[in-house]
Chain A
Amino acid sequence: GAVVSQHPSRVICKSGTSVKIECRSLDFQATTMFWYRQFPKQSLMLMATSNEGSKATYEQGVEKDKFLINHASLTLSTLTVTSAHPEDSSFYICSARRLAGGNNEQFFGPGTRLTVL
């Protein structure tokens, strides 16, 4: 159990376009989902915390108008990179925290590789 999927796994787009990435918890409900970004050979950097039915909480330095997050249900959160530029090219990973249980165990999706030309 505790499987998290992401779609697409890989996307290449032109500069100025918008890209939507989906994160789904397949076999559990997640009130909270997290979006991370990882540059090559670096750590995972938390971008935002997404709570079902409410606005996302963004980390310092992350532009909320550029990285739109929607958490419409207990199993789906989306990240939209608006007006993407080459510097947005990165590996984006989501995670979901299971509703039940008291531990802060997050289950990660497989990641989405975004390349902006």
Chain B
Amino acid sequence: DQQVKQNSPSLSVQEGRISILNCDYTNSMFDYFLWYKKYPAEGPTFLISISSIKDKNEDGRFTVFLNKSAKHLSLHIVPSQPGDSAVYFCAASALQGAQKLVFGQGTRLTINP
């Protein structure tokens, strides 16, 4: 049972344009969401997070949008840069309880010069 889904395994975007990565979840108990960036053979690096009391959080080039009714979140990167090329994972947790992170399958983002 995949509680967090990233349906696009890969995405290619032109440098300077906007990258939009999507994530869907099924568990209504999730109330905290995170995006991580990962390079091969390295651990994930935290990018940005959002709690369910918000619908948008912005940090520099990165903005995360949360649509609770649709159980959907997205990560916008603008403008996209070649260094953004990596695998992006969304993760979800419930702030109460064990606070375990449940990860999506990841989306490989490639920024083309």
Contact = CB atoms under 8 A, between A and B. Distances in A.
A46 B91 CA distance: 12
Interface in A40-73: 42-46, 49, 57
B100 A49 contact: yes
Interface range on chain B (Cβ under 8 Å from partner): 20 to 34
A98 to B, nearest CB: 11
Main SS of the interface on chain A?
strand
Given A49-B98, A49-B100, A108 B105 contact: no
Nearest to B99: A104
B59 interface: no
B99 A110 contact: no
Nearest to A108: B43
Given A43-B106, A44-B89, A106 B41 contact: no
Interface of B: 32, 34, 36, 41-46, 49, 51, 89, 93, 95, 98-106
Interface of A: 4, 6, 32, 34, 42-46, 49, 57, 91, 93, 95, 97, 102-111, 113
